[in-house]
Amino acid sequence: MHSIHERKDDHISLCLSEKVEYYSENSSFASFVLEHDALPELDFDAIDLSTEFLGKKLQAPLIIGAMTGGTKRAQKINERLSLVAEKTGIALALGSQRPMLTDANLKKSYAMREFAPNIPVLLGNLGAVQLQEVSPSQIQDLIQATDCDGFYFHLNPLQEILQIEGNRNFSHLLEKLQKTIPELQVPVFIKEIGCGISQRTAWKLKDLPLHGIETAGVGGTSWAKIESLRSQKKLNDPLTRSLQENLGETFRQWGVPTCESILICKNTLPHLKLIASGGIRNGVEASKALALGADLVAFALPLLKAAEISLAHAEKFIEQIKQELKIALFLTGQPSVKEFKKQAPAFLKKRSQSS
């Protein structure tokens, strides 16, 4: 078995060096258009992108999505991302904190408030499947160790199936979530990691005491492809490597496209805070996600690539997203994110097949 630390660095390397996203094929944002208003009657500089999240004010409805942690390379990336979140006034989600359960010394790669104390909102993260062996008190320890404002349980059955070391026992997780969530001292969210939240899953989540949900739909990073590529590099048997390659290709687009998942979650779970993610790559797509019903938008892979280069590149990416989002509001005649979401049914259109 390969160590969890080695696995985390493998994931980073593959995300940065291989074609692991399929957003152009399945993003589904091209299916929607925002109606242009040539007479917006607004002062562009007065447009307000600010949003309240977990009782804190964000400068824009954006989250740096959950990515990594647990290694020296991951720590460097997280430090840059935390500084970007602090400087641009947006939220930051940590990668899976599972490594902290096996080695307390790895806290440093996750304890971003010690590095950037003014991050507006920090979200912890652990795979829901870890509830098979982890207690609520251990999870609360992770939350306290990183001073998180909220906590994600991520759902990743496809990744676990294709991962060499994957945990395939997803039985009774709904029951375990029902018991665990009330024992945690922060708001709890559920997220997928690239296959989206379907109608069937949303129905199952309806009675959980959740604060919010993140779509992470098909259209961005494919963890089936990542685990397939990783297995090919780690396995010695040619037949097994070929099998893993075929599985990764077969399931690389499995799941629910992001836009569809947003609509499902908005309609089925209207009481929950909704975070859109999954192949969102610019501010126009972010504005469409908000118009469809999302409260916030998360970005992961583009920021991983930017942060690997430099802090400045990561900051530039966020500032560009904010500017594009602001322009989208201006060109639809909306003075704030709040008004934009309220008025969206009037100017968000389904693109016709002929166009």
CA distance 353 to 332: 23
Q: Where are the domains of the chain?
A: 4-350
- Rounded to whole angstroms, the Cα distance separating 67 from 83 reads 15
pLDDT value of position 27? 57
Tell me how far apart the alpha carbons of residues 187 and 268 are, in angstroms, rounded to a whole number: 20
pLDDT band at 354 (very low <50, low <70, confident <90, very high): very low
pLDDT digits (tens, 9 = 90+) for 15-62: 999 999 875 445 589 899 999 999 999 999 999 999 999 999 999 999
Q: Which pLDDT value is given to residue 235? A: 86
Residue 223 has pLDDT above 90, yes or no: yes
Q: Which of 19-23, 102-106, 139-143, 194-198 shows the lowest mean pLDDT across its residues?
A: 19-23
CATH fit for domain 4-350, picks 3.40.50.300, 3.40.30.10, 3.40.720.10, 3.20.20.70: 3.20.20.70
pLDDT at 2 (0 to 100): 54
Q: What is the 3-state secondary structure (H, E, C) of 46-62?
A: HCECCEEECCEEECCCE
Q: How confident is the model at residue 1 (pLDDT cuts 50, 70, 90)?
A: very low
pLDDT tens digits along 263-286: 999 999 999 999 999 999 999 999
C-alpha 168: how far from its chain's center? 22
Tens-digit pLDDT profile for residues 120-173: 999 999 999 999 999 999 999 999 999 999 999 999 999 999 998 899 999 999
**Percentage of the chain with pLDDT > 90?**
85
Mean model confidence pLDDT for the chain: 94
Please give the C-alpha separations between residue 181 and each of 98, 151, 285, in angstroms, as whole numbers.
Answer: 17, 10, 32
Three-state SS sequence of 252-315: CCCCCEHHHHHHHHHHHCCCCEEEECCCCCCHHHHHHHHHHCCCEEEECHHHHHHHHHCHHHHH
pLDDT digits (tens, 9 = 90+) for 89-98: 999 999 999 9
Name the β-bridge partners of 208.
none
- Judged against a pLDDT cut of 60, whether residue 353 lies above it is answered with no
Strand ranges (E), 112-185: 122-127, 150-155
According to the model, what pLDDT value does residue 240 have? 86
